[in-house]
A = this chain, B = another copy of it.
Amino acid sequence: MNKLAIAIHGGAGTITPASLTPELEKAYRGALSRALEDGYRVLTEGGTALDAVELAVVRLEDSPLFNAGKGSVFTKEGKHEMDAAIMCGKTLEAGAVAGVRSIRNPIRLTRAILEHSDHVFLSGYGAEEFARKYDVAFEPEDYFYDPYRYQQWRDVRDTDVFMLDHSKERKFGTVGAVALDASGNLAAATSTGGMTNKNYNRIGDTPLIGAGTYANNTTCAISCTGHGEFFMRAVVAYDVSCLMEYKGYTLQQACDLVVMDKLVKFGGEGGLIAVDAAGNMALPFNSAGMYRGCRSTETDAMVAIYKD
């Protein structure tokens, strides 16, 4: 049997032991473990990497702890606008959405786009129209309501401040997953609610193929989290892939250069998760912490939050 591997993240930022109560830390570890196990089970049961990353992200979107799906932060208008992308490393097919509202699981919508659309990237009302056509589930406004998130937004809504998910106090994050399946295929998926109090219908790196999300069987699958503007300008995910393909770097070498050197010099706080076609995994981050987990046929399940 070929090697199987999956890695997940729930966001990166200034996450320290002091910033989480023991109860909250336990809740995060539990949510990460369940998403990891559900995604890994897809792989052991012979499912595709695409199915595994989709399910792992759905589990994280359904948790109120993370800034995606149910837990999405409030925009300046007091709404929820979500971005997501999914990519298949075998075919390089992809689906992405920006600025969608009321969609229970934006990652399921990106999968429908990958499967059924000639387009890759849909946005706003148009993406929602596509969702209705393919029976992607909607939820009423109050599904996305969370008292903490509401207070977080109330604190800054009349200012021009926008908050990165993890740049202040209690931390919430973009979610993502990458996987290698038994057929040797890679896939990546990322989903986010963006920045608290964001305005102007800002789009971040999450839904941009090559920036926040990328998969290619030749090299690796990548899902990013962090200060999206810097990740976009640095084309982070495809940069890791190109360092492997064009310079012969290992996955770890490529991730270390991009996340721990180039992004640090550039001022781009955050991290990523990555898996290559041989099942090697890397989960680098240059912030204080990153909600993360991984498991493969050769390594036990690992869930972590802070730096080692």
CB within 8 Å of B: which residues of A?
A: 87, 92-94, 98-99, 117-127, 129-130, 162, 198-204, 208-211, 214, 228-229, 232-235, 238-239, 242-243, 246-247, 266
Contacts and interface: CB of A to CB of B under 8 A. Distances in A.
A98 B202 CA distance: 10
Given A119-B200, A200-B117, A200-B130, A235 B247 contact: no
Identical chains bound together, number = 2
Interface of A is mostly: mixed
Contacts of A121: 202-204, 208, 232
Given A208-B210, A209-B233, A246-B246, 6 more contacts: A93-B233, A118-B229, A121-B204, A209-B211, A210-B210, A235-B235
Given A122-B200, A125-B201, A130-B200, A235 B232 contact: no
Contacts of A126: 199-202
Contacts of A98: 98, 123, 203
Contacts of A204: 121
A198 B123 CA distance: 12
A127 B201 contact: yes
Contacts of A99: 123-124
A228 B211 CA distance: 16
Nearest to A248: B246
A246 B239 CA distance: 10
A238 B234 CA distance: 9
A201 B210 CA distance: 21
A120 B98 CA distance: 14
Contact of A238 (B200, B203, B238): B238
A109 to B, nearest CB: 11
A124 to B, nearest CB: 5
